[in-house]
Structure 1
Amino acid sequence: DNVPPNSWFNLPSAQQNNTIYTNVENATSVTQKKVFEETYLLKDSTRKITWKITDEFRNIAGYDCRRANAVIMDSVYVVAFYTDEIPVSGGPESFSGLPGMILGVALPREHTTWFATAVTDEPITADKIKIPAKGKAVDVKSLTEILKKALKNWGDGGNDIVRTSLL
């Protein structure tokens, strides 16, 4: 009954502290994820998301952003807000594929959001960008298998952890 406040069970997916490097030019990413006590290095192509752009707008961090909706991983509903004022197809975590920068993402079922509070336009030198290199190299399929095997007796709670880990 007394679950420590920093345990996996109390951490929403937004607090996983993943490190993600996305190469926009060749549509690949390297993600460093810590799941329980193990660190994994996931190299993959960027997630292909089929977005449905709506007519809804909202202001995020001083930018007019348009809403787009999608479903990923067969059942995870995603709401994103992007601005074409920043003409780069990117966003938080592994979310991209819209005609501008995603400044807000909500996963209602997961009770998770990422919203920009400020946007700066500062030059960053190449030596400041570090591609994650620490962790056990895996692909999505093998990470899924590892997690399912470790959590096979956890029922729905285990399935939730697997899903959250793969976001």
Structure 2
Amino acid sequence: MNKIVSLSLVVFGLFTTIQAQDFQGMAVYESKTSTADMTSGFRGNREITPEMQKQIEERMKSMFEKTFILNFDKTASIYKEEERIEQPGQGGGMRFMSSMLGGGGTHYKNVKEKTFSVDKEFMGKEFLVSDSLPRLDWQLSGETKQIGNYLCFKATAVRKVEQSDFRNFRRNATAKEENKDEKKEETKEENKEEKKTTNFTDGWEMPKEVVVTAWYTPDIPVSQGPESYWGLPGLILEVSDGKTTILCSKIVINPKEKASIKAPKNGKVVTQQEYDKIVTEKMEEMRQMNQGQGGNRGFQMRVGG
């Protein structure tokens, strides 16, 4: 009984703190994305040795393992990647690829006004994507689990995939079967001088939507979360969408040093739809260039650079 009373007092005290005018919180998130489909496009090409394939896979994995900081108050938040020292061997081609995948910046959400702004760098140009917050039809569940010191509840939704979010690229079933057939043909024709090369992005497809699973805690009653996620009756501590999982590893309520929670200002202002169009058109242009350079050859030079 005493434990129940004590817990109730803690929750009540936290709720009272959050209602204060100067309330602010900070959460640390670890993000990981499966890159198996992305790197499979290099397999079967004789210009890429097993050692190079392994190196590519390790670098891609590292590039998609990131730490983010979410600073939030009752109505707004900023979500930004934690700065880190660039690892040896991740310059050149990896910076180029990171740019193609859309360099991060400050992701600002205002749940009261239901708007967001995020500054992005793509192919050396700065953009400020400003639009309405995407609304998800969350289905709340009674299923629970513990994340750190917080009891979390499960919620699911179906989200439309942004065409500029290349984390969701995948090899389609047809491409996978064709890849198997190509390997068989290569075995039969291994003495031939000329070999067929394929473009790195051939057989890639972007799903139109993904199922999102989120875990939120009512103990922190703010409608915030990582990236563009919001709309639940509590802070989202974990979210999985497609091939990416984002998990909260640390929470600080009312940190000593307050963050400036303001929308970014730099970059050419575009809507999400306009930005998606810019990125997809540029990627198609790069794909055509790679085909003109002999498939994987052009992309290999950038990865190894």
Q: Considering the TM-score relative to the shorter chain, is it more than 0.5?
A: yes
Deviating above 6 A after TM superposition, structure 1's stretches of 4 or more consecutive aligned residues are: 4-7, 124-127
Opposite residue 67 of structure 1, the aligned amino acid is: K
Query: What CA distance in whole angstroms lies between the structure 2 residues aligned with 1:138 and 1:21?
Result: 15
Tell me the CA shift for residue 35 of structure 1.
3.0
Tell me the CA shift for residue 22 of structure 1.
1.2
Alignment RMSD (CA, Å): 2.9
Instruction: Give the one of 137, 141, 158 matched to 1:54.
Output: 141
Listed as ranges, the matches of 1:101-140 within 5 Å are 101-107=235-241, 109-110=242-243, 112-122=244-254, 128-140=260-272
Query: What CA distance in whole angstroms lies between the structure 1 residues aligned with 2:118 and 2:256?
Result: 20
Give the structure with higher Rg (CA).
Answer: 2
Number of the residue aligned with 2:80: none
Report the TM-score, using the length of structure 2 for normalisation.
0.44
* Pair 14,126 (structure 1): closer, same or farther in 2 beyond 3 Å: closer
Tell me the CA shift for residue 139 of structure 1.
0.3
Q: Which of the two has greater helix per residue?
A: 2
* Pair 77,32 (structure 1): closer, same or farther in 2 beyond 3 Å: same
When structure 1 is superposed on structure 2, of 135-144 and 31-40 the one drifting more is 31-40
Query: What CA distance in whole angstroms lies between the structure 2 residues aligned with 1:4 and 1:38?
Result: 27
Gaps of at least 5 residues in structure 1 are 156-167
Tell me the CA shift for residue 39 of structure 1.
2.6
SS of residue matched to 2:238: strand
- Which protein, 1 or 2, shows the higher relative CO under an 8 Å CA cutoff with sep ≥ 6? 2
Query: What CA distance in whole angstroms lies between the structure 2 residues aligned with 1:39 and 1:151?
Result: 17
Instruction: Give the one of 3, 6, 23 matched to 2:110.
Output: 23
Listed as ranges, the matches of 1:87-166 within 5 Å are 87-107=221-241, 109-110=242-243, 112-122=244-254, 128-152=260-284, 154=287
Gaps of at least 5 residues in structure 2 are 1-47, 68-102, 161-207, 289-305
Number of the residue aligned with 1:68: 155
Percentage of pairs with the same residue? 31
Q: Which of the two has greater strand per residue?
A: 1
